[in-house]
Chains A and B, each alone.
Chain A
Amino acid sequence: MEKYNLGYLEQLEAESIYIIRETAAEFKNPVMLYSIGKDSSVLLRLAQKAFSPGKIPFPLLHIDTGYKFREMIQFRDYYTKKIGVKLIVHKNKEEKARMMRPDQAHTDEYIYYKKTKPLLEAIKKYKFDAAFGGARREEEKSRAKERIFSFRDANGVWNPKNQRPELWHLYNTKINEGETVRVFPLSDWTELDIWLYIKKEKIEIVPLYFAQKTKVIKRHSVYLRLDEFVQPQESEEVIEGMFRYRTLGCSPSTGAIVSRAVTIEEIIMEVMEAKNSERENRAIDHGSDSNSMEEKKREGYF
């Protein structure tokens, strides 16, 4: 007996693949932004599926701040080589960016010089006209109204008042010279969906997502792991315990959470019972007021 129903995860997968193909078919030079996190890993798998048994017809781009967890960089180099996809790594090499210290990682200036500016630079340098990102609408308030094909003007600027209406699944992919589009195939996915999919598809992820014995300090109200970028200051107490990461970013600004989850199943159970939203452990969202994420987006940050 043939069945004609899809579970919601399969339906989300079909929709995301449609979006990825639509972009590959309509843009001259797309790129996939690769942040090495769990969402990026799912996005990458969807791209493989969209073109399988063919190859992914666009490169990956990683904006390296220089202060990422070393496990992330190791994983990046290992995994992209393993699946045979082209990887571009781009860093802001200007004086101002190089002079940024790890302890500035939570500041708006750091984000601008280490992330936003080099991203816009790379898009210009390689003449990319569309860039895939792994952002999800559920992640953060200001993203709830984000389009799947999010229009950026010739300066890479996002204007919330000038976004194109999206109806049915008819995506407008037309742009003028210099303008670009950010494409978010995971828009309708939630954190739980990402984990269920990682489990279903047996996707490899950075080991930092699993709980392990870690030495941390508490700074800016988040737990930071001690490593080459984070050293305890005099007043700070070193805590040792089981920690894992819910999201990954720069080592000096990404907080770990207390967790015993060492398998995907345990992570899923944890996410289902989670009491806090996932971005809460990221210093980046904790600007002076609650609009900070939106302002970063206006400038061109993802």
Chain B
Amino acid sequence: MDNFDYQKNRELLRLATAGSVDDGKSTLIGRLFYDCNAIYEDQLLGMKKVSKKKGFKEIDLSLLTDGLAAEREQGITIDVAYRYFNTSKRRIIIADVPGHEQYTRNMITGASEADVVLILVDASIGLTNQSKRHLFLASLLGASHIIVVINKMDAVNYSQKVFEKIKNDFINYATKLNIKDLEFIPVSALKGDMVVNRGENMPWYGGDTVLYYLENTPFTDRNLINFRLPVQMVIKFGERLRGYAGKIESGVIKEGEEIMVLPSEKKTKIKSIIVSGHKVKYAFSPQSIIVRLTDEIDVSRGDMIVRGNNRPEISSELEVMLCCLTNEPLRQGKSYLIKQTTKTSRVAINSINYRLNINTLHRERVDRLELNEIGRAFLKSNDQFLFDVFIKNRNMGSFILIDEITKNTVGAGIILNKGQKKAKNEKKKNFTKRGAVLWFTGLSGSGKSTIADEVREKLEKRNIDCERLDGDIVRQSLTKDLGFSRQDRDSNISRVSYVANLLSKHGVLVLATFISPYRKQREMVRKQVSDFIEIFVDAPLEVCQRRDTKGLYKKAGQNEVKDFTGITDPYEEPKKPDIHLRTDKIPLDECVNKILAYLENKKLI
């Protein structure tokens, strides 16, 4: 039965529609359904009756999406409503977001799972604050495709000029945002132009109709690389058998693959995979699966199954963008329940850096977020979060906040970063007289980053400007193009020292952590930088190998990493470092104090 298979094989598209009744959104949706013959006859009859009662000549298509009684009295929609229709290729689920009331809360609710966001504008009015808000929120929530529908073209004589002007206004505003794909379609939902049928009023427009766009845009931004399976529940069957059930939030997994359970870091293999009661060889996001593991290890809800060489971030502190969803403000210092993946734990809002004015994108100092307000904040928990930042992985980087007493959902947020990395701009400026470059050199695993992070925290508490330059991070940005040959390594260090010098000239204390194994290299940096402080982070190779924080020694041992310092490549110890720290002999805080004392002594802080 071909016809039935074809019915099932449609793709699922989630669409959020934003705009207010005044923009003609209900009419647009009504038109989409009407022209697709997706309105039932009894519904149509009802709509015709009401239209007549209201004194309209033609049928009022907006009546289709009209919902709860309270709204009908007020004549506005106040909550996200879901609607369904099929095109020949796709099943489309519309999250219909109301315009005026509770705009932020509703918009982020509706857009949270959307593949495509449709923003509706009135051609006779153009870009409004509301459109800006919608655009901003859609980009914040990582919608990869945004389509701006400029409606009521019939009210502006189907003018191309009007269309182009509005389009340019939008593009100007959108350059400030991170949007991958932005489309514009001129439409008259009332008359039916460019929704399902092209109509004859806008021959100057060469683009697609709304329906064509929805049917044909390739939208999938699924992450099939980073395997993440948050465990939902343990399923017991047979005598003593156990399976671990969950939804694959990203990535792919195969039978027999080696995996790791977090946070315990226990390793084992996938014995079998079950999807909907059937054994399968492999599974992928967004499937709901059960896995059985080769070894009996302790796994429970909230744990995560991943690959050992591709793990999520782990931290008890998070830097987030937060939105308040109820009349009770989110307050700095207050604690909440947080649900992220399948894990619920307790968290406190450590600080609120600023509130973002969605109209102007200005930052405003506050200690609380009121209903519909958005702000940047730091969260701290006693538990460890397993996450990926939101822009990399929506499912792993989103969360909700629940009130501990009322149990209501009071906040929603996305994870921007680990907590330690504080955003600079928000700090009160307090220029040191001069900057300097603190150059941490030493073997991998000697403790460079740990000490530097700690020093940075101490400095920031004293409002001293500082910046971290870290080997791993720089390699992903500034020197992404470089490899690991001797020459490339030299270029890496040379670029870093250039940046470090610039920063220090502006009064910043730069904390640079690089293995930088060759004496010559470091001398080169010393020459480039005006205030160079060489800090030798010293621990015997055996100790570093035992720590093996990044698992690199193990790889080097297996010949997976070439020219690895300490193993297959020499480390030339500094002869006369400015500060020498034996991290195998003295504790962390003592190392930190030694550095601070040095800086004080040199009158750098």
Contact = CB atoms under 8 A, between A and B. Distances in A.
Contacts of B105: 165
A190 interface: yes
A144 B409 contact: no
Contacts of B41: 275-276
Contacts of A141: 66-67
A244 to B, nearest CB: 18
Contacts of B243: 54
Given A6-B286, A167-B398, A196 B4 contact: yes
A188 B232 contact: no
Contacts of A144: 65, 67, 81-83, 96
A8 B12 contact: yes
A239 interface: no
Contacts of B485: none
B277 A48 contact: yes
B301 interface: yes
A interface bracket (residues with beta carbon within 8 Å of B): 35 or more
Interface in B76-111: 79-84, 86, 90-91, 93, 96, 105-106, 108-109
Interface in A11-43: 11-15, 17-18, 21-22, 24-25
A145 B69 contact: no
Interface stretch (B152-160, B169-177, B201-209, B400-408): B400-408
A170 B400 contact: yes
A49 interface: yes
Nearest to A279: B42
Contact of B407 (A7, A170, A174): A174
A138 B408 CA distance: 26
Given A17-B288, A49-B277, A167-B112, A280 B398 contact: no
Interface in B230-289: 232-233, 235-238, 243, 245-247, 252, 274, 276-277, 282, 284, 286-288
Given A138-B84, A168-B112, A265-B4, A275 B284 contact: no
Nearest to B286: A14
B68 interface: yes
Given A51-B235, A274-B40, A14 B247 contact: yes
A145 B80 contact: yes
Contacts of A145: 67-68, 79-82
Contacts of B237: 53-55
A161 B70 contact: yes
A276 B395 CA distance: 38
Contacts of B408: 164, 172
B224 A4 contact: yes
A160 B74 CA distance: 15
A8 B9 CA distance: 6
A172 B274 contact: no
A34 B301 CA distance: 28
A18 B105 CA distance: 24
A282 to B, nearest CB: 12
Most buried by A among B43, B238, B337: B43
B394 interface: yes
B277 A294 contact: no
A11 to B, nearest CB: 5
A188 B93 contact: yes
Nearest to B39: A277
A160 B81 CA distance: 12
A268 B3 CA distance: 10
Contacts of A175: 407
A51 B310 CA distance: 29
Contacts of A172: 339, 400, 402, 407-409
B69 A294 contact: yes
Contacts of B238: 53
Most buried by B among A137, A168, A276: A168
A170 B284 contact: no
Interface string A69-104: 000000000000000000000000000000000000
A35 to B, nearest CB: 21
A54 B342 CA distance: 21
A167 B412 contact: yes
A176 B10 contact: no
B109 A166 contact: yes
A174 B106 CA distance: 21
A192 interface: yes
B325 interface: yes
Contact of A7 (B8, B277, B286): B8
A184 B65 CA distance: 21
A277 B10 CA distance: 22
A55 B325 CA distance: 38
Contact of B409 (A24, A25, A160, A164): A164
A202 interface: no
A203 interface: no
Contacts of B12: 6, 8, 11-12
B136 interface: no
Interface of A: 2, 4-15, 17-18, 21-22, 24-25, 48-55, 137-138, 141-142, 144-145, 160-161, 163-170, 172, 174-176, 179, 187-188, 190, 192, 196, 199-200, 265, 268, 272, 274-277, 280, 290-291, 294
21 contacts: A4-B252, A6-B12, A7-B8, A11-B12, A17-B288, A21-B233, A21-B245, A55-B237, A137-B82, A144-B65, A144-B83, A167-B409, A168-B113, A170-B398, A172-B400, A172-B408, A176-B407, A196-B8, A272-B7, A276-B41, A291-B69
State the 4 A-B residue pairs at the shortest beta-carbon distance, nearest first: A52-B277, A25-B233, A54-B237, A8-B12
